[in-house]
Structure 1
Amino acid sequence: MIRWVIFIVIVSVIEFYAFQAFKTVTKIRWVLYLYQLISLAVIVFIAYQFTQFDRSVGQTKTTLFTLGLLLLVLIPKLILTFFLLLEDVFRVVSGSVTYFMGDNNNGDFLPERRKFVSQIALGIASIPFMGLVYGMTKGKYNYKVIRQTLFFPDLPDAFDGFTITQISDVHSGSFDDPEKIEYAIDLVNQQKTDMMLFTGDIVNTHAKEMHPWIETFNKIDKHEYGKFSVLGNHDYGEYVSWPSQQAKDDNFQAIKDLYGQIGFQLLLNENVKIKKGNDEIVLVGVENWGHNFKQAGDINKASENLKPEDFKILMSHDPSHWEYEVKTHPKNFHLTLSGHTHGFQFGIEIPGIIKWSPVEYVYKQWAGLYKEFGRYVYVNRGFGFHAYPGRVGIWPEITVFELKKGNNVA
């Protein structure tokens, strides 16, 4: 009951100030009535959908839309509230000064709202509104191919120029446009690399989410040196309630089988040697290990019988694993490939100028390439989307790596 009271109070304050902004800018009654009607309908819809959330089902297309709609109306209105609340502080101060100085000739304690303040607030609020609309309609499928050339002095000679494609965080249960996914798979195939890696989260929760997309993902070309994958945190079915442990176990097994059904070899705390000519590198795959998520990954088991001097590429879904265990591990993992963060699906990236997302306050490594102690971690921004049904500024990613022998930094 208390939560509903708090919810109603907060919504009332936000709606009051948002309406004041529109009321100050226009006096046309039908426009104001229409705004109030739409706002009420949206509030009722969102509140109803939240009461209908079924934890045994988890995220659905409806919950995705609801969260998107919530952000679409909430963020602009919070901006309006901020500006008009500041204006009210100014009005109270100004009114108090006028009152105590005896200059209040018109009898009104508070000065009238200034139209230009509301116009500025509405203009600024329109920026995230339009950005969120774009993110939900176009941005979520705005695939980018990002290329990275990495230099290693101890890279075996035969692997000089070796290329790898990485995708991560497919979240197939969120897809709603087969044509766009076909386009993305075509982009993957156009890269013509030596090896293909998938760093986890094939679904949101249920194995059945991937069933409509198996044929599409099977169109990913065979790669000369294989296609490999690891599990992500969502692949364990941890975020819904299950009727029984057996049902959860069956779903988990079905999810593991999915990777094989689309032609990927799933590595479960194990490693595989990749041979080229007379040389070899080692691909190591761990189950999910997250500082604040499921810790099924066992890097020691996965790297059994490996030596520090072996050239190793590690697939580990959550980049916090690199921060807390991998970067100082005595086995010396040259390159770690992760995903998980999605770059929060929201941020600003202008190469060489700015790179920001709210997720950076949670993850030290959240998107792109990082290096410490002579070791690299790359965090893929994700192929799909989850929770918010869109992307703003942080676009879905297909990463292409070229390994080079040498000491230069690309």
Structure 2
Amino acid sequence: MRSTARRLWRFAVRIWPLLAALHGYIGWRLLPPLPGPARIAGAGLLVASALLIPAGLFSRLRPGRWSDAVAWAGYFALGLFSSTLVLTVLRDLVLLLPASDGWVEPSAALVPALALAVSLLGLRNARRTARVVEVDVELPALPDALVGFTIVQLSDIHVGPTIKAGRVRAMVDRVNALQADLIAITGDVVDGPVAVLRRDTEPLAALRARHGAWLVTGNHEYYAGVDAWIAEFERLGLRCLLNAHTVIAHGDAQLVLAGVTDFGAHAFDPQHRSDPALALAGSPDGAPRILLAHQPASAADAARAGFDLQLSGHTHGGQFWPWNLFVRLQQPFTAGLHRVDSMQVYTSRGTGYWGPPKRFGAPSEITRIRLRAAPDRRVARDDASRWR
């Protein structure tokens, strides 16, 4: 908890002045054209937003009913502020066009109305139980016994102030109804310490698949106390793969399932440095090799290590527009199925959400991956090779 507090204070010292300045920019551009009462109300809402957003982040330091309510308010304010800021910038660009003078007043009222509409629609999308996305993956020389093998992937659930046991239970019920051969959880399960979230993660113990449920760590597990969470996940029956692999016997065939620690885990614990080659060491030759890695950025190392398929998350698909347009600045892929050399990579948009309860243009998903046989052939190298 102390490390979380230090991280939040450092974040606040660096970010809050910028946050306040951006709220000021919105007020400067939108409030003057509005009538007097609307200007006063708008100014009050901007001040409240600038205070609620950091309050929502700090609320996790004192868990409880009231802290969850503050988190809800702060995170919703963050999503609303984000959309308002983007639309304000777009409005300013439009007003640079000739003959736009007549749009000054109506557009000043339209921007917050649109931002609120997008945020409410995004809230509705985020609070739905994630849809099931069907993905067929063709692997060369796939044994007949593994044709049709199904893996259900969960990623980025982010159990925390706004995602509680009821929502987790609904996800688990939907997953179990799919009767998967194997369940893969690709990190960022939680947003808080075990002592606070144990009750809310308890439904994960009910996950059922023929070959069990397997998990790798994401960056948020390290923020929340990774060692305690690994022990808790194991208690729940989720088997953790930390730069390690297991061999799944399915009929007369074998499947190598490996997992790595988060791509940036070494910043928290040097012994947790992500290592796809180590995860594969000692695995049987000739068996299909699947890697669970929280971040798509692991793909280049995984391809070099000899994996056939990598399952990842982390990006949330950008979660809501326009941030999906910027994911590629930090990761090789935003969402979907891609290739790196001879390896395929599937990046989930995530099953939950982080921060603002908002999804717009990037729906959450529970992914059912079905393995299919494909002819053995050379695969063109994807531009993700630049992430090596």
Under TM normalisation by the shorter chain, which class is it? 0.7 to 0.9
SS at match of 1:343: helix
Equivalences for residues 89-238 of structure 1 within 5 A: 114-120=101-107, 122-123=109-110, 126-176=113-163, 178-221=165-208, 223-237=209-223
Q: 2:316 aligns with which of 332, 335, 342?
A: 342
**Would you say 1:389 and 2:363 are equivalent positions?**
no
Partner of 1:103: none
Q: Tell me the amino acid that sits aligned with residue 367 of structure 1.
A: A
Query: Quick one: distance in 1 between partners of 2:347 and 2:295?
Result: 9
Give secondary structure in 2 for the equivalent of 1:237: helix
- Give the secondary-structure state (helix, strand or coil) at the position aligned to 2:136: strand
Q: TM-score, normalised by structure 2?
A: 0.79
CA distance in 1, matches of 2:204, 2:158: 13
Correspondence for 2:249: 275
Q: Is the 8 A contact 1:232 1:288 kept in 2?
A: yes
Change (3 A) 1:281 1:165: same
Deviation at 1:395, TM superposition (A): 1.6
RMSD: 3.5
* 1:39-69: CA deviation from partner (whole Å, max 9, x where unpaired): 3244145336637965993996434532431
Three-state SS of the structure 1 residue aligned to 2:304 is: coil
Which structure features the higher share of helix residues? Answer: 2
5 Å-filtered alignment, 1:350-365, equals 357-365=325-333
Query: For 1:269-308, what aligned pairs fall within 5 Å after superposition?
Result: 269-290=243-264, 296-306=273-283
Q: For residues 252 and 83 of structure 1, do their structure 2 counterparts lie closer, same or farther at Cα, with a shift above 3 Å needed?
A: closer
Q: Distance in 2 between matches of 1:153 and 1:219?
A: 34
Correspondence 1:37 to 2:61: no
Structure 1 residue 368 displacement after superposition? 1.3
How many residues align structurally? Answer: 358
Identity %: 23
Displacement, 1:90?
A: 6.1
Corresponding position of 2:299: 322
The counterpart of 1:367, out of the listed 335, 339, 344, is 335
1:68 paired residue number: 76
Instruction: Point out the structure with max Rg over C-alpha.
Output: 1
CA contact (8 A) 1:149 1:404 kept: yes
Cα separation, 1, equivalents of 2:159 and 2:211 = 26
Whole-angstrom distance in 1 between the partners of 2:267 and 2:340:
23
Is the aligned partner of 1:258 residue 2:232?
yes
Query: Which blocks of at least 5 consecutive residues in structure 1 are unaligned?
Result: 24-31, 92-112, 239-250, 349-354
Q: For 2:191, what is the secondary structure of its paired residue?
A: coil
Following superposition, the deviation at residue 134 of structure 1 comes to 2.0
Question: Shift in Å at residue 204 of structure 1?
Answer: 1.5
Pair 1:377–1:6, CA change in 2 (3 A): closer
Distance 2:255 2:308 in 1: 11
> Which structure has the higher relative contact order (CA within 8 Å, separation 6+)?
1
Unaligned runs of 5+ in 2: 1-12, 378-388
How many Å apart are 1:230 and its aligned residue?
1.1
The alpha carbon displacement at 1:311 in A equals 1.4
Instruction: Work out the CA distance in 1 between the residues paired with 2:249 and 2:188.
Output: 28
Q: In the alignment, what sits opposite 1:378?
A: 346
1:72 aligned partner, one-letter code: L
Query: 1:368·1:379 contact (CA, 8 Å) conserved in 2?
Result: yes
Give, in whole Å, the separation in 2 of the partners of 1:236 and 1:3: 22
Q: 1:252 to 1:120 in 2, by over 3 A?
A: closer
Matched AA of 2:190: V
Tell me the SS of whatever aligns to 1:20.
Answer: coil
Per-residue Cα deviation, 1:180-201 (whole angstroms, up to 9, x for no partner): 4333222111111111111112
Aligned to 1:107: none
Correspondence for 2:54 = 50
Q: Which amino acid aligns with 2:207?
A: I
Distance 2:110 2:178 in 1: 42
Aligned residue among 22, 34, 53 for 2:34: 22
Deviation at 1:8, TM superposition (A): 6.1
Q: CA deviation at 1:257?
A: 1.6
Structure 1 residues 209 and 116: CA distance shift in structure 2, 3 A:
same
TM superposition shift of 1:402 = 0.8
Name the aligned partner's letter for residue 39 of structure 1. A
Cα distance in 1 between the residues matched to 2:202 and 2:330: 36
Is the 8 Å Cα contact of residues 342 and 382 (structure 1) preserved in structure 2? yes
TM-score, normalised by the number of residues in structure 1: 0.75
